[in-house]
Chain A
Amino acid sequence: MSQDVFVVAEHLQGKIDDVTYELLGKARELAGQSGGHVVAVLMGSGIQNQAGSLGAADKVLYMDNAALEHFNPESYARALSHILEQNQPRLTLIPNTSMGMDLAAAVSVKNNLPLVAYATDVQIDNGQVVATSQLYGGKINVESVLEGDSSVVSVLAGSFAVDAGKQDGSPEVETVAAPDGLDQTRVRFKNLIQPEGGDVDITQQDILVSVGRGIQSEDNLPMVEELAEALGGALASSRPIVDNKWLPKTRQVGKSGLKVKPKLYFAVGISGAPEHIEGMKDAELIIAINTDPEAPIFEVAHFGVTEDLFDVVPALTEKLKG
């Protein structure tokens, strides 16, 4: 048993994702509270050179195996389970990403470790691990105590600053042997699909007018598009609009879509689920229209309008055009 804080590094195509740096920065703070070290866990194939970008960690545990070349829920869970079994850290932080959703639950069961998923903050307070998570789409917060000497928390990307954990350096790299038969998995990786190219790259736009569930029908989309045109910006959206196929995936802002940082983000009928906020909270100016004054979008918006969007949007477009 150690007081170390482990961070599972997320990477795609040989590049470490920013969420890893967020967690490393946080782990540094937590290791101060627990009196342990920060250890990054890097699992992959031929990516040892990436350890150099994990300079915020005291040590990198690196497991290299062909079965870890692409994310595979089964081989990764077995590999991480093996590492945690050997090391028994005080706390393991896993990004609540597509990878982390499979991984956190699996190692929690395999190693019998308490788990809080989808957390937005973690503290070690008087020796107790306390995780904060958002419930009901961000309307309610819960603080949970994770019992025992070792536990797992998966953290939503965007919860912490990237800078604190993004340091190049040469941390000690310890190579860990893969458990036997790691390639004997039921789940088989087949292939990877790149993001599709779109007509408009919303990450490059200064002005985005983004539309959400509040628009109610596809027929109302042109009304918002006209506002985007009047502002000289492009149309973006939250997930439900893309799920309904009213707009292509390339227009989606958020966790599974794109992260944007425009000068103006004008949110129309978007309640602001945590996955959406993650993708747009760094916009310079955020204006939101939503009839629910309690909508989480008003946590990040600078200016808010709670009148009906069907009254405000056309009137604003007309005024801008006139």
Chain B
Amino acid sequence: MKIAILLKQVPVKDAQLKVNGGGTWIDESDVTFEINESDHYGLEEALRLKEKHGGEVVVVSMGPERTKEAIKQALAKGADRAIYINDDSVRSADPVINAKILAAALKQENFDLVLSGLQSDDLGHGQTGVIVAELLGMAHATIVMETDVKDGKIKVKRELESGWFQYVEIPLPAMLTIQSGLNQIRYATIKGIMAAKKKEIKEVIPADLGLDAAELQSPGVKLHKIYVPVKTKETVILEGDPKEIVGQLVEKLKNEAKII
């Protein structure tokens, strides 16, 4: 089975973010990046499916130079090779444009299964995988919590709202967006890190992928304004050393919550 995992690098969870001087995007200069959390689970699921059914796992990732770090980590964990789309333009507001580029890169490979994380922790559209699938004419399912491949079909458990789940079955080729927590993610071993150095990273730019440039430059969604949200409700921050804070908390629990 030939499996692609769409991997994205995002700011670390506790990154302090501010808007850049031009007001065009966030200022990335002091930001540390990591692999998007649900993509980690997607990669793990891809590796497990390969271990069970054979085949190969290909990392497909797009972004500026720093993205290579994420790709190397994925190769160290056991992915076989990577396609890196070198592109540092910000096309943030429109999920379709990024998906078009990814779809163009995937098209040439004829994957049996394309996986992505459910949602990126930066832009959070949660749509890239599905758009890619639609563009490639693949059947798709989101928020996948379990996979089972049998006889050219994949049966998946989808998470619904409020604790409900459903099972659906999809013939391959298929595209799935993977929810965090469906497996236990592995760490890279020293051996894996060494082996990764010899693995292929095929670097392309969007122009190499036969895309219509005009199509990429006229998004259907345009960035209007980016800002740090103004708090509408002011939280009262309790100040002091831990002992003083505890005193204040007890007072609030008594007088505000009236529970003690």
Chain A residues close to B by CB (< 8 Å): 12, 17, 70-74, 96-99, 101-102, 104-106, 108-110, 113-118, 130, 133-148, 151, 157, 185-196, 206-207, 213, 231-232, 239-240, 242-245, 249-250, 255-259, 263-264, 271, 274, 284-285, 287-288, 292-294, 298-308, 311-312, 315-316, 319-320
Contacts and interface: CB of A to CB of B under 8 A. Distances in A.
Interface of B: 11, 13-17, 19, 26, 92-96, 118-119, 121-127, 130-131, 134-135, 139-143, 155, 157-171, 177, 179-181, 219-229, 231-233, 235-238, 241-243, 245-247, 249-250, 252-253, 256-257, 259-260
A101 B127 contact: yes
Contacts of A73: 139-142, 168
B95 A140 contact: no
Nearest to A245: B181
Contacts, number: 274
Contact of A74 (B139, B221, B252, B253): B139
Top 8 nearest A-B pairs (CB, nearest first) are A243-B181, A114-B220, A195-B163, A105-B130, A109-B134, A190-B167, A193-B165, A105-B127
Contacts of B157: 193
A138 to B, nearest CB: 7
A-side interface mostly: mixed
Contacts of B94: 114, 144
A187 B170 contact: yes
A101 B142 contact: yes
A264 B253 contact: yes
Nearest to B237: A304
Contacts of B14: 271, 292
A140 B17 contact: yes
10 contacts: A12-B160, A114-B220, A136-B17, A139-B228, A142-B223, A143-B223, A145-B224, A242-B181, A256-B179, A320-B253
Most buried by A among B93, B124, B134, B260: B124
Given A102-B142, A190-B169, 15 more contacts: A97-B160, A101-B130, A104-B127, A109-B131, A114-B221, A118-B124, A143-B225, A186-B171, A190-B155, A193-B165, A231-B260, A293-B237, A305-B245, A307-B242, A311-B242
A130 B130 contact: no
Contacts of B155: 190
A190 B95 contact: no
Given A98-B158, A142-B93, A193-B164, A300 B126 contact: no
Contact of B180 (A71, A145, A151, A239): A239
Contact of A192 (B122, B164, B243, B253): B164
A239 B119 CA distance: 14
A61 B147 CA distance: 35
Given A102-B130, A102-B141, A231-B253, A146 B220 contact: yes
A320 B246 CA distance: 9
A98 B143 contact: yes
A287 B249 contact: yes
A213 B180 CA distance: 14
Contacts of A114: 94, 96, 219-221
A12 B164 CA distance: 9
B142 A98 contact: yes
A241 to B, nearest CB: 10
A227 B121 CA distance: 31
Contacts of A287: 249, 252
A142 B13 contact: no
B143 A101 contact: yes
Contact of A196 (B119, B158, B163, B226): B163
A188 B168 contact: yes
B127 A303 contact: no
Contacts of B221: 114-116, 144-147
A307 B160 CA distance: 36
B115 to A, nearest CB: 15
A99 B160 CA distance: 8
Nearest to B41: A243
Nearest to A102: B142
A244 to B, nearest CB: 8
A170 B232 CA distance: 37
A133 B123 CA distance: 9
A23 to B, nearest CB: 14
Given A73-B142, A139-B17, A130 B134 contact: no
A244 B134 CA distance: 32
B227 A140 contact: yes
Nearest to A110: B134
A258 B163 contact: yes
Given A104-B127, A114-B221, A140-B226, A12 B250 contact: no
B257 A263 contact: yes
A308 B245 CA distance: 11
Nearest to A304: B235
A245 to B, nearest CB: 8
A307 B158 CA distance: 39
B14 to A, nearest CB: 6
Nearest to A101: B142
B168 to A, nearest CB: 5
Nearest to A106: B134
Contacts of A196: 163
A174 to B, nearest CB: 28
